[in-house]
Every structure is written in C-alpha cells, then in structure tokens.
Structure 1
Amino acid sequence: MRYATSVLTILWLGQSARVVWTQGRLPAPSLSFYRPRFGRNIQLFSDVELICTLPTNVRLPITVFFGWDNQSLSAIHSLTIQNRDDVRFTTKAIAANEGIYVCWYNASNTGDVSRTSNPANLTISSLPGPILVVPAFIPIGGNYTISCQTTTRFPNRTLALYYRQLPVTVGNEIFKFKGSAALLDNHDSITLSRWLVDSTETFEFVCRLEIVDFNQHIYLSPPSSPHPAIAEEAPIRLVPQYQGSKCLGQLEVQVRGSWGPVCQQIESWNPAMGSVVCRELGCGTLSSVSTKQDYNHKVDFSIGSILCRGSEGRLRECQIDAVQPLCNSRKGLKIVCSDALPTTKISVTGYREVSRVDISDEHSLELSCMFNAPWFGTEKLFMDLTRVSIDSYINIIDNVQIATGEKMRTMLHAPVLSGEYACRIRGSEQTVSSVRIFVSKWYKPNVGLIITALLTAVSGAAILVYMCVYRVQKGETANAVTSQGVSTADPEASPGMESV
C-alpha cells in the first residue's frame, strides 16, 4: 500500500495554524500509532508516527487534518489527497508535543466535515536506554573498567549504576544501587574501575538514565542491557585430531565453565600468542601456528581478538577483546609446540644400528630418515637431513615432507664427505638421531712393486731351499767318512781299550 507522508516539527502550540470545525455527518476515520507500535514505550526525542486511515466509501478528493482532541478541534496539520491512501503524521517526542491527537477530513466538493477519529494519546514514557560497556574478558588478578554511556544531550542528566551477585539465587534477583553521577554538558558517561580482582568477582551490571525537564517532570530510561563481569581463571588446552600429545591441536579456552575455541581474524593472529600458549602448557617453544576453518564441536561461545606481546606467562594476561557466540567469519587456530614433535631415527643401508661408519672415498652410502608420531595422523612434517662439518658448519643435504612411518631415503654418492649426519624435523628441539661417517683415502698398489716383491720372495725361498738341501747332502757325506774310519781300526786291539 502506498502512503502519502508528511513530516511536521512542532515548536509551540501557539505558533501552529488553527482551524476550527464543527462535527459533520461523514463517517469518521481511524487513528493509530505506526511507530512505536501501539504507542507503547515512547522515548524522549524519538520520532512518533500516527496514521489516519480513511473509510472505504469516502469520496475524493478530500483534505485530512490532524489536531488536538479538544473542544475547538485545533488543526495543526492538513493534507489534500486524491487517492485512498492512509495519511501519516510525524512529530518529535518532546514535552511540548505530548497530548491526545485525533484526525478528521472534509470533502473538497461539498465542504462536509467528518466526525473525529478515535483519540491517540502521545505520552513520553521513557528515555533512550543508555549503553553499558563491560570488557568481554576479565582475567583473575587483572583490572577492568565499566562504562555507562548516553547519547542524549537533554539538560539535567543523571546516570546510575546497579549490580547483583552471580549466580542469581532466590532472594538475590534485585539489582542493588552502586552509584550515580549528574552529567555536565560536555560529559556523556560514568565509569567504575575495579583493580586486582580475584575469583570472587562475579557480578552483573545495568545502568539507567534519568532526566528532569523544565516542568520538573522526571523521565526514566529503561535499564541498559545487563552484562556480566566475571573474573576468569581461563585455563587453556590444545585438542589434537588424533590422541597422543597435549602439545598440539585446536586452541581452546575455558570461560564461564565451558570450553570454547579461540577464533581470530586471519590477519590478527600473531606468533607471540602461540609462544605464550606453549609456555603456559609446558610444551617447549612454538613450532607452528596455522588456521583451522572448521570446528566440529557444538559450543556456546568463542574467544577472539587476542593480542599478545610474547612475554606473558599465561594467555589470560594477553589483551582479549571479544567473547562471541560463534566463530562466524573467524578461523580457529591450530598450534604445534616443539614438545609435540617426535624424535627421529637415522639408519645406513647395509649396516645395523650404528653410530659410526668408516668407509673409503670410493664408497657410496644410502641414509634413511623417519619418525613415529601417531598423534599427527596423516599430516606430513618437513624432515631435513643435515651434515655438520669439522668446522661446525651445518649443511642441509636433503629435505622432504613425510608422514609418520614413512622414510626419506637419500643416496650419498662417492666421494662421501666426512661429518655428523643427522635427521631433524623442522622446528624441533628434540634430540635428533645422528651417525658419524669417517672417510679415508684408498691408495691403489703399484703392480711393478708387487711383481718385484714376489720375485724377491721366490728367489729368497729358492736360496733357502738350496741351502737346506746342500746342508743335508754335506751332512750325509761326513757320516759316510766316519763310518769308514771305524772299520779299519786295529783288530788286535784289546777289547777293553777305548779308541782315542
């Protein structure tokens, strides 16, 4: 339905045009509030809209009037229309415009006047509610400030703050008065500061605005939206996709008794926050931080807008500005600390588990690197094969991404360089597996020298054989001569006599 709309700002009744009509015989229109609905909770300084709805059988054109419901029917606004559209009338909710309104019309061709509509009472019932600002997150041992703000510039403004203890129990439902302050013309808020709060800091706050007009009429705003101020221990945890380590996974914080994810804008997360997390959990140093889009658990809240300097001992000591129902466009954080990274294993193909291998410079070797960490699932980590030279310089020989149980094989072709070879997961501070390889020079023998040596050995052996044979032969000859001397002795010699 189309509407013919007219906006009128009323300054004073005495300045408005007055037209006095007598009751007519035409059917009466109806008057209702369009904004606010049913005329309830009309706030000071707000726009109030009234709609005059015409009877269905009215003959056009006509002139529609709005005015006060008094004896003289003072018209404060009129509009001539050519169609059957409802007519709107807009005014400001200030003290001068309070009262009972009616509408009526007259036929342009006959001058007949309708009866007046039903009355609509414009009564200012409240002020625009103030805005209460409480920090989204309050750490135990920290400080916080509550602010109650108003946007109205009406004179004689007073803001009051109320509180109650949480959790709300029977007999403790009513908010208690905390304090109030009259605002100067250039001030729009009051604040309450709390210092070094402990675990008993569990309150809920509201605030309210009060205005006294020129006629000493008191207007009270509805209370602001309540906000809790609860000091949090805020323990943290890392939830891995696969169980086995507390030092990697989705970052969660416990707030108000429930665990929820930390969700950051992609551009707002910083490595300093990851360092604080690893330090608080006793998991070494930060290895990596990455975003995690999905979060499969049903949660009541998430924490975001966290800014850490890196020197904090706990995450709750960082600046935390948001506790929202869902992650929405934010992303969860996956953190890997150094203690989650497993130790590595290095092996030399063809050798048993050894820490030292001695080879010549003509030999090649194959090295294998691997790790065993089921808590990483199918996720692949960067593995580096390094060599520490004699002057302690570290060279990266090979690197590749491998999953748990897989091997990175690297062939070292001759001549292999001496040094300590180690397998290291990138970013890990864990003890690495290593093997020392010592390479020596292989000298090729001289063929001529070998032949000469062999000939010399053969000659020496021949001479020895000859000398041995000669000695044997010479000994046999001597024995034969001795035997002949005995047989030619004197046969008459006495038998008891010894031969000399």
Structure 2
Amino acid sequence: MFRQISLGLPVILILLGMKGTTMLFSEGLLQAPSLEIVSHSGDNNIKLFYDVDFTCTLPTGTELPVSVYLGKKASPPLVLTMTTATSRIQNDFTLKAVKENEGLLSCWYIITRNNVSSELSLPVNVTITALPAPTISIAPYHITPGRNFTITCTVPDEYANSTLSFYHSRFDATTGSTISTLLGSRFLENKFNSITYKKDSADSGDDGEYSCSMAINYSNRNLTSSKSDPVLLAALPAPTISVAPDLITPGRNFTITCAVPDEYANSTLNVYHSYDARTGKTITTLVGSVFLENKFNSIVYRKDEADTSDSGEYTCRMAINYYNHNLMSPKSDPIDVNVETFPVRLRLGLSYYYQTCAGRLEVFVRHSWGTVCENSDWLLGRSTADVVCKQLGCGQAAYLLSARNSSIAGNGPIALGQVNCSGSERYLRECNIGAVQPSCSHSQDVGVICTGFPPAPEIFQSGYSFQQSGLIQRSSVKIECTLRASLLESTEVLLALQVASSSSKIISKTTRLGETVSFLLEDYTGPKDLVCAARLEVFGEIFSSTSKKLSITVPSTEITTKITTVKYVGVIAVIIVIVIAVLISGLLYCCYRAKKKNTQTITNTTGQMNTAQQTTEC
C-alpha cells in the first residue's frame, strides 16, 4: 500500500502553483480513474471525527509513475491529499470526517514523465450523518434488592459539548411488550466526557436494560448517535444457606440447603466449598449444581461420612437467564462447617495451656477452646470422665470436680453443656454430645482428676548417674527427691523418704512442687530399697504418689579391705611394667647406634665398590 499523506488547505495553494497544474484542464485529458468509499466504521453512516477510507483506481495500462490526487470537485479542483503511485493502479486515501472534508470528492492523476493530467473521477458524496454510540457500564455488577447502583455513560473526549441521554427498557408481563423510558438528559461541558445515573435502594422495578445515546449540533446540523450496547440490571437476591445438623463429627452425614424465593424458579443453584489448602491460599470449588424446576425453590447438597477435609466455608449463588443474558446473583452469606474432632485438655491454670492429668475440662469447638458446664439437666458423670482420662492417656477418672466446690472456674468461651458417654468410647467425639456453646456461666464449669495425677516423684542418689541403683562406700548417703507438676509450682508438697517394703518414714520434708529436696542419711547400714513418697492437697482433695525403687548396696569392711588391697597391688604392678618397658627401650636404642657406627664402605682395585658390615653383638 502506498504511503498516505493527509493534506489541508495549505497544500492546495502549493499544488495550484505546481508546474503541471494547468495541464489538468488542457485538451486531450487522460481517461478518468474511479473513486469509491471503502470503509467508514462498518455502517452506511459517516460518523463525526471518524476516519473515512477511499480507493482511487487508475485505468488499466496507465503509464507509471503518476501523482494521484483526492479533492473536492470544483473549478479548479481543491486538493485535499495526494500520493505517488509507482507500481499499483489502486491508491488508498484516508480523510477525517470533519466539516472541511465534506461534499463531492473526486480523484485524478498526473503522469510524471510528461505532466499529462487525467479527467476527474465520478464524485462521491461525503456527508457526516451520525455519531458513534457511547459506552455504558454499571457498578456494582451484582445487585441485591435495597442496594445502590450507578450507571455511567461515556463518550470520547472530542465529543464534549454534546448531550447524553439515559434510557430504561423493561419487559411488561401484563402487555407482553417492552417499554422504553427516558430517564434523563444532560449537556456535557468541555471538561467532562461522561454522566452517571445513580439509584438508591434498588427494587424489582429497576430490573431491565439500560442504554444511552449522544446528540450534538455540528455545522448547524443536529447529529444523533445510536443507543449504546445495553447493560442489564437484575436485582437478584442472594440465596439463603443452612446446614444440618448443627454439630458434625467425623463419619457423620450432613446436608447443606440453598434456597431462593419462589419467583426465581427455573434458575440454577450452585454450592461452593472454600477451604485452606495449607498453602496460605484459600481454594474454592464447585461441589454441587442443580437446575430448579418450577415447583422447587431449593437444592440440598448431602455429604456422607464427613471427615476433617469437609470443614470450611460453604456458599451458594443463583444463575438465571434474563433478557437473554446469563446472570449470576451475589453469593449467599457463608456458613461455617466444622467437622469437630473434640480435642480435650485438663487445665490447672488460666494464663496458658499445659496438659496435665487433672484440672478444668476444656474442649476445642468452633475454632476455640472452651469449658464444659453443668446445668440442672446434666451433671458430669464418671463414665464421661473416664473417656476424658482415657483420651489423654491419664488412666481413669479418680475424682469429679465442680466450680461450685473447687477453684477451677475458667474464663472465655463455654464449649459444651451436655456430654453423655457409656465409658466404652475411645474419644469424646464418639459420645452423645448435646448443647454446643450453651448459655451458662463459668460457675458451673467441671473438672476431672485422673489416676495419672500426680506424677510419681523422681528419686536418685547424689553423685550417681543411674537413678534406680547406687553404691555407698562410707557411713553416710545423700538421697534427692523431686516432684514436678507444671502450673502447680506454688503448691506445697510433703516428700518423705521411706523403705520400699514399708510405709514407715525415714525422714520427710515439706517443699514446693518442682523443687528438689535432699535427705542425708548418717551411719547408713543398708542394704535397703528406698522410695520417695509425695503427698499434696489440690482442689480440696489429698493426693499421693510414690517414686520408683532406688536400691542401695553398702559393701562390708572385709570386702572394702580386699578392694583396697587389690587397688594397691594393681598400682605397683603398673609401675613395674612401666620400668621394664623403659629399660628395654634403652637397650634397643643402644644396639641401633652401635650397628650404624660399624658399617663401612670399601673400594676394590677394579673400581668396584663393596660394602662390608661388621656386626657387633650387644
């Protein structure tokens, strides 16, 4: 394609002064080319400020190169643009659709070699008759009844000083026809290129298509655009969602129901599941989709044998075909589904978590730890407490506690109000669990003391690494005892040293939990098996535990003497061995030196070298 050059009025003056201009009107003009409009934005209307494309086709056999002109038919013709053709008979031009380029336009050519001009082509009429359609947008895209929305109509900057008008088209079910209403018009000033239509508290009467058009006065003519592509507004309500049962445990079935008002039958309901994939991102998947028939307004998503992967947020939304548009409603409010495994713990404090085998009973429900409270309909039973102790690996229940008669009241959430176990269950979640997050006070909190509380004290002989055995070689022995129980460090405990086979105390001391006490036994005459017994009061109850057995062996005097004699003899033997080793090493070194000194080198008469060694006996 030839390079196109747009020329204005200054070019006309230049061309009129060209050397070959007079040849345009000389006798013997060449055959005229043909001119046509090949494109003007896809329709039969020439739009203001749009480009208009022309093609000027030279007669077959035209001598090239030539200069090709496009201009207005006048006397002389008024040149608007030109190009040079060196190898093609079709020449393309583009003019902007403005007032200066309107009217009857023709094209002609001049042969470069002899400046001979052609006749003018038949003219084409360029008249600006239309404007481009504005663009329109709506926000937000999903509208629910009662929500505000805004529609914006926009035109290119060069169309300032135009008037924009809004229209609303709505299907009238009573008459079976579409009613179009003018919502309003506004003149754009130079600095603006858009107008907005805002509606507060949308209702079903606002449903339908919205469009806008532009009108402008140009060259004393009123030009009007076609309407913009419509945007559709459907104030679709978000569906409602519910889950049943309220409490879901592993292996149990649950259902999610998504519903819409009756008038939205023949829509499609979709159910979504959003969960954390432990990658820091939330993944949303479509888990169900059903088309509603006329007689239904809800769908049910059922999950059998739930597991923890089914936990997460569930939402649903409605899809409907409206005015031949596929619309989606906003999502429903999310519903949180937790497949509860009911971890349990027994706490002895309020400030932080540490697992013990005694204390206030707490259960993890709905993303948080909470207490368990009694009420007039339910009291903590021994069977339920046994399951708690079993789940924690603390044995069986020894005592049941209540905030009414002990200081175990907690704070924060209350998790459960009723739990009934038969005692054969391995985990609390296998029991019959009733009220979740009930309305009761912490004065009704319950607790459990398991047989695994308190832990056994630690006993060891000072100076020995083995805890359960020791050897005494003198008349006194030092035994140490410690009872450790986190969160009870301020509690007093009585630690007693006693013979394993008897409950009689040898010696006892009162200390704090976690602190080590020492027992010094003078003139100890074992052998004996010793244990450390602990006794403390917690929650108004007395608890005791006993350490493992520490066996102490005291050697007799005869055995001690023999051990000492053996020790001395061993030392003397080691010294003798060292002396003998030194003497042998010195003798060997002496031989080595003598051998090296007596080695001689002798040269014979034939020039050959012989080596003779004279060995000296050591």
TM range (shorter): 0.5 to 0.7
Distance 2:160 2:436 in 1: 72
Distance 1:384 1:50 in 2: 80
Q: Secondary structure at the match of 1:153?
A: helix
Distance 1:107 1:14 in 2: 19
Are 1:391 and 2:359 matched, yes or no?
Answer: yes
Q: 1:362-418 CA distances to partner (integer Å, 9 max, x unpaired)?
A: xxxxxxxxxxxxxxxxxxxxx57543343337699xxxxxxxxxxxxxx98977486
2:451 aligned partner: 439
Distance 1:200 1:85 in 2: 61
Instruction: Give 1:9 deviation, angstroms.
Output: 5.1
2:120 aligned partner: 116
1:291 aligned partner: 284
1:247 aligned partner: 256
Indicate how the Cα distance of structure 1 residues 263 and 415 shifts in structure 2: closer, same or farther if over 3 A, else same.
closer
Indicate how the Cα distance of structure 1 residues 188 and 203 shifts in structure 2: closer, same or farther if over 3 A, else same.
same
Are 1:259 and 2:261 matched, yes or no?
Answer: no
Instruction: Give 1:147 deviation, angstroms.
Output: 2.3
- State the aligned residue count: 340
Asked if 2 retains the 8 angstrom alpha-carbon contact of 1:16 and 1:76, the reply is: no
Are 1:223 and 2:227 matched, yes or no?
Answer: yes
Asked if 2 retains the 8 angstrom alpha-carbon contact of 1:237 and 1:246, the reply is: no
Q: How does 1:64-463 map to 2 (within 5 A)?
A: 64-84=68-88, 86-135=90-139, 136-154=141-159, 156-166=161-171, 172-173=177-178, 175-213=180-218, 215-236=219-240, 245-247=254-256, 258-259=267-268, 290-292=283-285, 337-338=335-336, 340-341=337-338, 383=341, 385-389=343-347, 390-392=358-360, 416=395, 422=427, 438-439=450-451
Instruction: Give 1:140 deviation, angstroms.
Output: 0.7
Instruction: Give 1:210 deviation, angstroms.
Output: 0.9
Asked if 1 retains the 8 angstrom alpha-carbon contact of 2:167 and 2:181, the reply is: yes
Indicate how the Cα distance of structure 1 residues 76 and 144 shifts in structure 2: closer, same or farther if over 3 A, else same.
closer
Task: Give aligned-pair identity as a percent.
Answer: 24
* Structure 2: runs of 5 or more not aligned: 245-251, 293-314, 318-324, 348-357, 365-389, 401-425, 438-446, 457-498, 504-618
Instruction: Give 1:225 deviation, angstroms.
Output: 1.2
Distance 1:60 1:163 in 2: 59
Q: 1:116-159 CA distances to partner (integer Å, 9 max, x unpaired)?
A: 33433222121122222223222111222222222233464211
2:61 aligned partner: 57
Distance 1:270 1:44 in 2: 54
TM-score (ref. length: structure 2): 0.44
Indicate how the Cα distance of structure 1 residues 440 and 99 shifts in structure 2: closer, same or farther if over 3 A, else same.
closer
Q: 1:15-51 CA distances to partner (integer Å, 9 max, x unpaired)?
A: 6744462385544333233432677222211122212
Distance 1:257 1:63 in 2: 68
Distance 2:360 2:173 in 1: 67
Asked if 1 retains the 8 angstrom alpha-carbon contact of 2:38 and 2:53, the reply is: yes
Q: 2:6 corresponds to which letter in structure 1?
A: L
2:6 aligned partner: 8
Q: Secondary structure at the match of 1:162?
A: strand
Q: 1:392 corresponds to which letter in structure 2?
A: R
Distance 2:121 2:72 in 1: 11
Indicate how the Cα distance of structure 1 residues 424 and 337 shifts in structure 2: closer, same or farther if over 3 A, else same.
farther
Indicate how the Cα distance of structure 1 residues 12 and 127 shifts in structure 2: closer, same or farther if over 3 A, else same.
farther
Q: 1:84 corresponds to which letter in structure 2?
A: R
Instruction: Give 1:189 deviation, angstroms.
Output: 2.5
Instruction: Give 1:65 deviation, angstroms.
Output: 1.2
Higher relative CO (Cα under 8 Å, sequence separation at least 6) belongs to 1
Instruction: Give 1:175 deviation, angstroms.
Output: 2.5
Indicate how the Cα distance of structure 1 residues 415 and 176 shifts in structure 2: closer, same or farther if over 3 A, else same.
closer
Q: 1:4 corresponds to which letter in structure 2?
A: F
Asked if 2 retains the 8 angstrom alpha-carbon contact of 1:5 and 1:87, the reply is: no
Indicate how the Cα distance of structure 1 residues 437 and 239 shifts in structure 2: closer, same or farther if over 3 A, else same.
closer
Instruction: Give 1:197 deviation, angstroms.
Output: 2.8
Indicate how the Cα distance of structure 1 residues 31 and 201 shifts in structure 2: closer, same or farther if over 3 A, else same.
same
Distance 1:256 1:29 in 2: 66
Asked if 1 retains the 8 angstrom alpha-carbon contact of 2:359 and 2:448, the reply is: no
Distance 1:199 1:60 in 2: 70
Q: 2:142 corresponds to which letter in structure 1?
A: F
Q: 1:177 corresponds to which letter in structure 2?
A: L
Indicate how the Cα distance of structure 1 residues 386 and 211 shifts in structure 2: closer, same or farther if over 3 A, else same.
same
Q: 1:188 corresponds to which letter in structure 2?
A: N
Q: 1:203 corresponds to which letter in structure 2?
A: G
* Structure 1: runs of 5 or more not aligned: 272-287, 300-313, 317-323, 344-382, 397-410, 450-500
Deviates more, 1:413-422 or 1:38-47: 413-422
> What RMSD over aligned residues (CA atoms) do the two structures have, in Å?
5.3
Instruction: Give 1:14 deviation, angstroms.
Output: 7.2
Indicate how the Cα distance of structure 1 residues 161 and 395 shifts in structure 2: closer, same or farther if over 3 A, else same.
closer
TM-score (ref. length: structure 1): 0.53
Distance 1:77 1:289 in 2: 62
Indicate how the Cα distance of structure 1 residues 395 and 201 shifts in structure 2: closer, same or farther if over 3 A, else same.
closer
Q: Secondary structure at the match of 1:78?
A: strand
Q: 2:256 corresponds to which letter in structure 1?
A: C
1:369 aligned partner: none
Instruction: Give 1:4 deviation, angstroms.
Output: 0.6
Distance 1:144 1:336 in 2: 23
Indicate how the Cα distance of structure 1 residues 195 and 12 shifts in structure 2: closer, same or farther if over 3 A, else same.
farther
Indicate how the Cα distance of structure 1 residues 9 and 235 shifts in structure 2: closer, same or farther if over 3 A, else same.
farther
1:493 aligned partner: none
Q: 1:387 corresponds to which letter in structure 2?
A: R
Distance 1:90 1:235 in 2: 55
Indicate how the Cα distance of structure 1 residues 14 and 104 shifts in structure 2: closer, same or farther if over 3 A, else same.
closer
